Amino acid sequence: MVQRRLYLDWNATAPVLPQVRQAVVRAFEEAPGNASSIHREGQAARAIIERARRSVARAVGAPAQAVVFSGGATESNNQVLHHHVATTDEPFVICSAVEHPSVIEVVDKLDGQGVGTARWPVDEQGRLDLQWLDDQLAQGATLVSVMWANNEMGNIFDVAAIAEKVHQAGALLHVDGTQALGRIDVDFQAAGVDYLTLSFHKMGGPKGVGATIVREGLKVSALMAGGHQERGRRPGTENVPIIAGVDAAATELVKNLPDWQLALTKRKELFVDTLRSAVPQLELRGAPEHQLPNTVNVAFPGVDGEDLLLALDLEGISASSGSACTAGSLEPSHVILAMGFEEKRARESLRFSFGPTTPLDELGHGAQRIAELVGRLRRLEAEI
């Protein structure tokens, strides 16, 4: 009998919701036209895109006209950062030290081009110091880029408090909400965000599509030339079936978020409690009082994370050591390093992330299997 695998890497990508799969297939069949065409088939495609725009807006508390579809949060992050630098006199961009590579690498590139930048440090629990932000804003920062929730630690940042400080200083706030979507409440207008960037595949939507949400009165420029789509903000023929999948994902989010949150909290409690009782010298990383209900970052002292990942995969458990966008890198997680851990200890970190439909019994058994593998690896290390 083939053993069923336990997928604990939802922060890399989530299994597609059945409603999303159905919506994508239906759009292929029912809307074959180009959404820029004026005939009936084209208008059917256009209707799907505009319905999805309204659904996304409703899911994140934004006006529909603020939603610009993109190829994913990486593209949207690039779009916001490059637009700001291109349209601002003496730009000064801040990003946190634990941002996704699609923000950090862009900011580093801008720094190399002579743009003023600063990297917002975190403490040993991955928390941001708001006093540091005050100091940088006083020095003329023009844009602050921070994620709503961290993809590796699961730490949730106080976006509303950050927005208040940023706006008092006359600066703008860009927030990457990708990992928060479907796990906690994301309210664009209530939080006071200027630019919100999203992908939908972490919460059961399709891959290869995202959105840039732009506050009224602000603009965002297209990264490429060659078309008028998205009111000139993102050229190229729209991927209508995939955007139909976004509509379905956003609709399910609005309908189910409270139930998803309860299910995730229950699963996290079970997983953490089981690990704690079964594994000596376990180290949970991050700020537990402000973390996503689906994310656990844990270190097993004395066990190399890469060795444990390989052993888990052979046992039928999928996890990760950090962002999927840096998978294959020989370097330890930049997030863990930013928290002050030296390389050896940083390499001990693993990330386990799950969804509201992860079977509870399998999650408990999985935690026990993880504990057994940790014990086995520790014994092998002791024998060397």
Which residue, among 210, 194, 202, 120, has the nearest Cα to 157 in the 3D structure? Answer: 120
Q: Do the beta carbons of residue 180 and residue 199 sit within 8 Å?
A: no
Strand-pair partners of 69 = 211
Q: Do the beta carbons of residue 90 and residue 140 sit within 8 Å?
A: yes
Active-site residue, 95 included: no
Distance from chain centroid for Cα 307: 26
Rounded to an integer, what distance in angstroms lies between the CA atom of residue 228 and that of residue 231? 6
Structure tokens at 1: 């009998």
DSSP conformation class of 231: G
Q: Do the beta carbons of residue 334 and residue 325 sit within 8 Å?
A: no
- Do strands 317-318 and 92-96 pair parallel, antiparallel, or not at all (unpaired)? unpaired
Strand-pair partners of 350 = 298
Whose tokens are 């998205």? That residue is 230
Catalytic residue (choose from 325, 327, 360, 380)? 325
Q: How crowded is the C-beta side of 329, counted as CA atoms within 13 Å?
A: 14
Q: Which residues have CB under 8 Å from 383's CB, separation 6+?
A: none
Q: Phi and psi dihedrals of 320, rounded to 5?
A: -155, 170
Rounded to an integer, what distance in angstroms lies between the CA atom of residue 67 and that of residue 86? 21
Burial 339-351 (b: 16+ CB within 10 A, else e): bebeeebbbbbbb
**Sign of the CA dihedral with 360 first, then 15, 72, and 347 last:** positive
Structure tokens at 294: 């689906």
- Provide the annotated active-site residues: 325
